[in-house]
Amino acid sequence: MSKRCTNAEKDFRVKTIYGLLSHGWPRGEVCQYAAKEWRVNERTADRYIAEARELIEQDCALTRQQFLAEALDRLRTYEIAAAKRGQMQVATNSVRLQAELIGLTN
């Protein structure tokens, strides 16, 4: 019988599975990964998957205003980085998208 993992190990495993699910891994492959890496059975892997999916759901539970704020922040970051690299078309497109998001264009 294998020993139980610590809370820190469990958190690491759930966060690892969160990443795998975010990258589109199907349940079967996640279970195989968990079995190979951590020597856990399918039932334990399913519990980790369930917890990871709860975290994903929490992370995606944004209001429209929160999503808009995050999107605008990312676009500003892209605009600045593009301008520093001399990619003015990319910077201009970023500004255009920001204007669309806040409703300044049709």
Residue ranges of the domains in the chain?
A: 7-60, 64-101
| Cβ neighbours of residue 45 closer than 8 Å, sequence gap 6 or more | 17, 30, 31, 34, 35
pTM for this one?
0.68
What tens digit of pLDDT does each residue of 3-21 get? 789 999 999 999 999 999 9
Report percent pLDDT > 90 for the chain.
Answer: 92
| pLDDT level of residue 105 (50, 70, 90 thresholds) | confident
Query: Which token pair is 52?
Result: 């990871």
What is the spatial distance between Cα 1 and Cα 102, in angstroms, rounded to a whole number?
58
| pLDDT level of residue 1 (50, 70, 90 thresholds) | very low
What tens digit of pLDDT does each residue of 35-62 get? 999 999 999 999 999 999 999 999 999 9
